[in-house]
Amino acid sequence: MSRPSLRAQSIEPFLAMEVMERAIELERGGASVIHLEIGEPEFPAPAAAIEAARQALASEPSRYTDSRGTRELREAIARDHARRSGVTVDPDRVLVAAGTSPALLLAFTYLLDPGDEVVLGTPHYACYPNLIRAAGGVPVFVETCAEDGYPLRAADVRRALTPHTRAIVVSSPANPTGAIQARADLEALHALGVPLVSDEIYDGLVYDGARVTSALELGDDVFVLDGFSKRYAMTGFRLGYVIAPRLAQRGLQSLSQNLFISVASFAQRAASAALEHGAATTAAMREAYGTRRGVLIDGLSRLGFVVPVAPRGAFYVFADARRFGADSRRLASRVLEQAHVAVTPGIDFGTAGEGFLRFSCTAPEAQIHEALERIARVLG
């Protein structure tokens, strides 16, 4: 058998998924595992979305759609962004993909030649560097400061720019830190003259009166990524999208035609319904996660973890666990195998995250209390 390509060898395992898959093995063996490792809302998808998918499967032929997504869905996405950001979006700038990760892959494939660089803050979402490498690019990391709320500062990014830089990744609210980028920081990053690739999948899941500034508010020369998994609890529907500059549309469309053809038609029907009727689902999750965030922070602090800054968005708590061991992968494995609590090792989010563990706030509050008790028994 031939060896895998160097590009394939450069793709590292997604540790959150590795932990989840090991937890599933334990569950098959009879263990009761509490899942705090993945960004999976435990809420149901909006009832209107489920009904729309059911009706589409029952009464409509399941066929290919426009590779960019149905016109109905792209218009609904444009209206939603106009409502949230105050920016009018042309539906022709929207391209629907089978999740935000495929949309990111399309954007990076469009932007990057082999060896081109992408600057991103770290700790970072685990898949960013691997998606960049899969597109032939090179990730360049700029460390952010916990005590300052993990902002990505333009001055730090400027020092990392080279003639090979083709994009800057911004994530707000961010995974794993929950950081929200201030408008002034986004404006300064935009002024550097390098395309911004802005992941806004957690917009709407914010706390303490925070507001997310969309990169769309800065100009038309940005790539904005978003989707339905987090805000509408629709992870299994696999739907995301990119809002891109007009000049990029034809290239992205050609890539989508060849790589993905189109997204499932019934899932697109469900997404349109979620945008129209899903606000109550988002509001309920936001309220619940705000409460669970406090439970986790208080409980982890009592156990000896250090939470440098309370997350202002998303639904994770990123906790310093170095009191219990510097190797986050080993520590997460110990917690899973002995306490039957699945958590994500901080090294998944780059070397800047080593020694930390990420805890998801998406489990029911009773399970979070039980998880904290189990961890206490194992870590003493």
The residues, ordered by sequence, that sit 6+ positions from 146 with a Cβ below 8 Å of its Cβ are 177, 308, 309
pLDDT of res. 256: 97
Domain extent for 312? 6-44+280-379
* Position 235 in a domain: yes
- Show which of 228, 256, 277 is a domain's final residue: 277
- Read off the pLDDT of residues 16-74 as tens digits, 9 standing for 90 and up: 999 999 999 999 999 999 999 999 999 999 999 999 999 999 987 788 999 999 999 99
pLDDT at residue 1 above 70?
Answer: no
Tell whether 13 and 96 lie within a shared domain: no
pLDDT of res. 365: 96
pLDDT of res. 3: 86
Cα–Cα dist 69/250, whole Å: 14
- Read off the pLDDT of residues 135-147 as tens digits, 9 standing for 90 and up: 999 999 999 999 8
Tell whether 23 and 168 lie within a shared domain: no
> What is the mean predicted confidence (pLDDT) over 292-315?
96
Share of the chain above pLDDT 70, in %: 100
For the chain, give the mean pLDDT: 96
- Read off the pLDDT of residues 305-353 as tens digits, 9 standing for 90 and up: 999 999 999 999 999 999 999 999 999 999 999 999 999 999 999 999 9
- Read off the pLDDT of residues 167-216 as tens digits, 9 standing for 90 and up: 999 999 999 999 999 999 999 999 999 999 999 999 999 999 999 999 99
> What is the mean predicted confidence (pLDDT) over 258-271?
96
Cα atoms in the Cβ-side hemisphere of radius 13 Å centred on 62: 11
Query: Could you tell me which residue, 5 or 228, shows the higher pLDDT?
Result: 228
CATH at residue 333: 3.90.1150.10
Q: What residue spans of the chain are helical by DSSP H?
A: 6-9, 15-28, 47-59, 71-85, 100-111, 127-134, 154-160, 183-190, 246-259, 265-277, 279-303, 328-334, 365-379
Tell whether 110 and 175 lie within a shared domain: yes
Tell whether 17 and 64 lie within a shared domain: no
pLDDT of res. 59: 87
Buried b (16+ CB within 10 A) or exposed e, 344-373: bbbbbbbebbbbbbbbbbbbeeebbbbbbe
> What is the mean predicted confidence (pLDDT) over 283-311?
96
CATH at residue 126: 3.40.640.10
* Position 1 in a domain: no
| The total number of structural domains that make up the chain | 2
pLDDT of res. 380: 79
- Read off the pLDDT of residues 78-91 as tens digits, 9 standing for 90 and up: 999 999 999 999 99
Tell whether 80 and 190 lie within a shared domain: yes
